[in-house]
Amino acid sequence: MDIGQIGEYIGLATSAVGLTGKASDTIVSIKALFEGGKTPDNEQVQRLLNTLAAELTSANMMNVQLSDALRALSQELQRQDDFEKEKARYELIETSQKDIVFRLREDAANGQPIHFICPVCLNRDKLISFVSGGYYKTCQTDGKHGFRFEKMPPARQVRMGDF
């Protein structure tokens, strides 16, 4: 959720309030035509009623847009809340080789096996992406995200007489 979106929603709400205020002013003008037992000019009444209808229609359309925008805002806030709850299940750890990854906390496993997730994907993309492999684990979403967990065993040297 960015500030620009919130600004748009505030703008919609302000416009809706403004249109409602105009409609209220038009109603006051219509009432004034009938005060004191006067017989109002039908043409003027018709013009004000048409203005009122247009203002109420505009206000109603603005309210529909505002309702849709608020629903979208609510859904986005719910998604962010769900993500933060899921993220809270993980703890940041340092591997024995000094790489940093997130690990599922044991008290939050809920029957899942303990696993690791990519810190780059989690923080940048708000995405839970598992890392898998042996000594060197890679992110399932982006293979360029790699993490060293253990020292690689020394490469076995093959001699000609070993065959």
pLDDT tens readout for residues 22-73:
999 999 998 888 887 778 888 999 999 999 999 999 989 988 988 998 898 8
Structure tokens that stand for 99 in this block = 């790489």
Grouping H, G, I as helix, E, B as strand and the rest as coil, residue 3 is helix
pLDDT band at 19; cut points 50, 70, 90: confident
Closest to 33 in 3D by CA, of 50, 17, 16, 45: 45
* 3-86 CATH pick, 3.40.1620, 1.10.3470, 1.20.58, 2.60.40: 1.20.58
Q: For residues 159 and 163, give the distance between their C-alpha atoms in angstroms, rounded to a whole number.
A: 8
pLDDT of 157 over the 80 cut: no
Could you tell me the residue ranges of all domains in the chain? 3-86, 89-148
- Run of H or E residues at 138: strand 136-139
Q: For residues 3 and 124, give the distance between their C-alpha atoms in angstroms, rounded to a whole number.
A: 19
pLDDT of 162 over the 60 cut: no
pLDDT of 105 over the 90 cut: yes
